[in-house]
Amino acid sequence: MDPRLAKLIEDYRAKVAEAVALLERAGIPRPSSSLEWAQADVGGRGEEQLEHTFEDAKAAGDLVYSGYTLYYTK
C-alpha cells in the first residue's frame, strides 16, 4: 500500500476514535452496531457550541475555505 494512503487511513481512524470518545464523554453511549449508529439520536447536542467553535476557528485563520463548500485545516 502506498505509505501516504496508509497514513491517511491511520489519521482517519485516530480522528474517528477521538470523536467517539468525545461523544461518550458527552453522555452519548457507544452504539454496538452500524444500525445503532445510524439510528442514534445525537442531533441537537452541542450544535450551537460547535457552530461558535467553528466560527472562531475560521476567524483565527485555522481553517481555509475551499471556495465551494469545504474548509480545510492548515
- Residue ranges of alpha helices (H) inside 26-46 are 34-39
Q: In the predicted model, is pLDDT for residue 30 greater than 80?
A: yes
Q: Is the separation of the CB atoms in 63 and 72 below 8 Å?
A: yes
What sign does the CA torsion over 4, 69, 20, 39 have? Answer: negative
- Look at residue 45 and tell me whether its pLDDT is greater than 80: no
Q: What is the count of structural domains for the chain?
A: 1
Q: Which residue, among 46, 40, 47, 41, has the nearest Cα to 26 in the 3D structure?
A: 46
Identify which has the larger pLDDT, 58 or 42: 58
State the Cα–Cα distance between residues 66 and 42, nearest whole angstrom: 28
Which band of pLDDT confidence, cut at 50, 70 and 90, is reported for residue 1?
Answer: confident
pLDDT value for 19:
87
Q: Which band of pLDDT confidence, cut at 50, 70 and 90, is reported for residue 43? A: low
Mean pLDDT over each residue of the chain, to the nearest integer: 85
Residue 11 carries which side chain, given as an amino acid letter?
D
The amino acid that residue 21 corresponds to is A
Residue 63's domain comprises 3-73
